[in-house]
Chains A and B, each alone.
Chain A
Amino acid sequence: MAKQSQNPYRHPFVRWIEHRLPIISFFEHTLKHYQVPKNLSFLWTGGFIAGFMLVVMIITGILLAMHYIPHPDHAFDSVERIMREVNFGWLIRYLHANGASLFFLVVYMHMFRSIYYGSYKSPRELLWIIGMIIFLIMMATAFLGYVLPWGQMSYWGATVITNLFTAIPWVGDSILEWLLGAPYVGAPALNKFFALHYLLPFLMFLMVFIHVWALHTNGSNNPTGVEPKTAEDTIPFHPYYTVKDLLSITAFMVIFAFFIFFAPNFFGEPENYIPADPMVTPAHIVPEWYFLPFYAILRAIPDKLGGFVAMISSILVLFALPWIDRSKVRSLTFRPISRALFWVFILDVIILGWAGAKPAEGNYIIIGQFATAYYFIHFLILVPLVSRFEKPSGLPESLSAYYKNSCHD
C-alpha cells in the first residue's frame, strides 16, 4: 500500500509498469532530476558520443558477422564479398572500420578532457579507473578486430603483438601458444580472435553502465573543477544536456560521414588489401594510428622485455594518475605551470605517434627514445613535484562566481 502511494504517475499503464519495475522513476531520476553543473563545455559531450559509437560498432559488427567467415582460406575473400556483393555491405564495413578510428578519437578527447580538468581526482578516482578498464578492453577489441580481414597488415600486426608475450621470462612461449591455439598465427588464432572480438564489446557495454553509475554517484566535474554548491550552480541534465549531446553528435556525424563517403580508406593501410602471406613480412609494419604512441614506446627500448615493460607501464601509469597528481585543485585553468606541462605532454604524445609511424632506424629511434623518456618523466617526476609545490591562482569561491568575476555572464 505504501508503494502504491509513492507511485506518482497518473496514466494507468505507466502506473502498472512502475509498480512492478520502477524503471520510469529510474529514468526520471537519472535524466530529469539529475542536476549537472551549468557550465559544461562541448568537451563534456565526449562520453555520450563514445557511448553512441559503441552502439554503432556493435550494430554494424553484428551485421558484418552475418557475412564474415573466420578462416584463413575465406576471411579475406569474405570481406571483399561484403564490399562487392552484400547489399550495402560497403557502407556497413566502412561504418565499422572508420567508426573504430573515430571511436578512439572521441575516447582520447574524453581522456585528455579528464586530465586537463582533473576529473580523475577525489571523489572520482574509481570513475577514472573504470574508464581506463574500458579503454583497455577497447584496445584489445580494436586489435582483435584488425586481424579479422586477414590482410598482410592484419596478419603481421597479429604476429608482432602476440609475440610480445614471448618477452615474459619462462612462461612467455606457453602463453603465446595458449593465446594462438598453435605455435603460429593461423586458423585457430583467427577463429579465437573472432570469438573474442564479438564478446569484448558487450563487456565494454557492461562497464559503461558501471562507469555511468560511478559518474552519477558524485556527478560530473566541470571546467572550473569547483564542486557545485548551490542550486544556482546546476541545471537538470534533461533537457539542457540531452540537447547539447545531440548537437555535438550532429557535428560529429558530419565528420563521420565525410570519412565514410569521401575518404573511407584514409585511416587504412593499402598493405591490408593484400591477402595475408605467412612467408613474407611487409617491409614496414605499422599499427593503426591510435596505437602509434604506444608502439613508439615499445620500439624505443632496444631490449625485448624492456620494450614490452615500457609499453605496458605507459598505460598502467595512467591508472595511478589520481595519486600521482597531488594537487587539490582540479582544473588546470588555475594551475599555470601544470597547464604548460599538459600542452608539452600533448606535444610529446604527438611526437611519439609520429615516431611510431616511421621505420625503426636511425634518428627516428632516437627521437622516439627522447619522447618515451619524457613521457615517463612527465608522469613520474614533473606531475608529482609540480602538483605538490605549485600555487594555484585565481581559484574562484564557487562555480558561479567564476563566471560573474570574469564577466562571461
Chain B
Amino acid sequence: MNATREELSEKGKKRRDFITLTATAMGGVLAGSIAWPLLQSMNPAADTLAESITEVNLAPILSGAALTVIWQGKPVFIRHRTQQEIAEAEDAPMSALPDPQTDKSRVLKPQWLIVTGICTHLGCVPLGQKKTEPRGEYGGWFCPCHGSHYDTSGRIRKGPAPTNMIVPPYTFVKEDLIRIGESS
C-alpha cells in the first residue's frame, strides 16, 4: 500500500520504455551485424580475386603489330609501336589531354605499350588492334560503343571516356618476356 496505482503504472511505463529501447537497440545491432556478411557475400569470391599472372612472349609481335591477351578475365592490349607512333605519343601536348599523363609514365620500354583493353567509359573493347580496324583520329584505338578516341599511348583524346586506358602492373622477365599481374 506504499505506492498508489498511478505510481506503479508510472514505474511500469519506465520499465517498458527500457525494455522497448533495449529490444530495439538489440534488433538494430543484430540486423546490422548480419547485413554485413550477407552483403559481403556478393563481393568477388577469394578464387575470383586471386591475382592471376599471364606470361606473354613478345618476340613474335613485329613492329606495328598488336596482340590481345586475357588477364583476369579482361583483354590486355599489347602493341609494338613504330618510331612514328612513339613520337606521336611523346609529342602530344599535355594541354590537349583530358587526363594528362606523359607517355613515359605509361610504358617501361617505349616500343611496348601495354594497356587493359577496356574503354573507361562503359567497358567496351575498343577497336584498333588490327590494322584493318578503325583506330580513331589519333591512331590508337576507337571505341565503337559511344565514340571514344584513344591515342598511341592509350590515352583518351576525344569522346565520353573520362580517363586513359589503364596500364596493368607488368614486368619484363627477359628481353622479350613479360609477366602481367606482377609489378616491376
Q: Which residues of A contact B (CB under 8 A)?
A: 156, 159-164, 166, 177-186, 188, 192, 278-285, 299, 302-305, 307, 359-361
Q: From residue A162, how far is it (CB to closest CB) to chain B in Å?
A: 8
Q: Does B132 contact A (CB under 8 A)?
A: no
Q: From residue B60, how far is it (CB to closest CB) to chain A in Å?
A: 19
Are B145 and A285 in contact (CB-based, < 8 A)?
A: yes
1/0 per position for B116-128, CB-CB distance to A under 8 A? 0000011111110
Q: From residue B3, how far is it (CB to closest CB) to chain A in Å?
A: 41
Q: Which residue of A183, A280, A307, A359 contacts B125 across the interface (Cβ within 8 Å)? A: A280
Q: Which residues of B contact A (CB under 8 A)?
A: 39, 42-45, 48, 68, 70, 72-75, 121-127, 143-147, 159-162
Instruction: List 19 A–B pairs whose Cβ atoms lie within 8 Å, in order of A's numbering.
Output: A159-B122, A159-B123, A160-B145, A163-B122, A188-B45, A188-B48, A278-B125, A279-B68, A280-B125, A281-B125, A281-B127, A282-B144, A284-B144, A285-B124, A285-B144, A285-B145, A299-B146, A299-B160, A304-B122
Closest B residue by C-beta to A284: B144
Are A182 and B44 in contact (CB-based, < 8 A)?
A: yes
Are A283 and B73 in contact (CB-based, < 8 A)?
A: no
Q: From residue B137, how far is it (CB to closest CB) to chain A in Å?
A: 12
Q: A181-B45, A182-B73 are in contact. List 19 more A-B contacts (CB 8 A).
A: A156-B145, A159-B123, A163-B123, A166-B123, A178-B43, A181-B43, A181-B44, A184-B72, A184-B73, A185-B123, A278-B73, A280-B125, A282-B144, A303-B160, A303-B162, A304-B122, A304-B160, A307-B160, A360-B145
Q: Which residue of A156, A182, A307 contacts B124 across the interface (Cβ within 8 Å)? A: A156
Closest A residue by C-beta to B69: A279
Q: Which residue of A162, A177, A285, A303 contacts B43 across the interface (Cβ within 8 Å)? A: A177
Are B160 and A302 in contact (CB-based, < 8 A)?
A: yes
Are B124 and A281 in contact (CB-based, < 8 A)?
A: yes
CA distance A43 to B43 in the complex (A): 45
Q: From residue B15, how far is it (CB to closest CB) to chain A in Å?
A: 37
CA distance A361 to B142 in the complex (A): 12
Q: From residue A391, how far is it (CB to closest CB) to chain B in Å?
A: 45
Are A160 and B73 in contact (CB-based, < 8 A)?
A: no
Q: Which residue of B68, B74, B122, B147 contacts A164 across the interface (Cβ within 8 Å)? A: B122
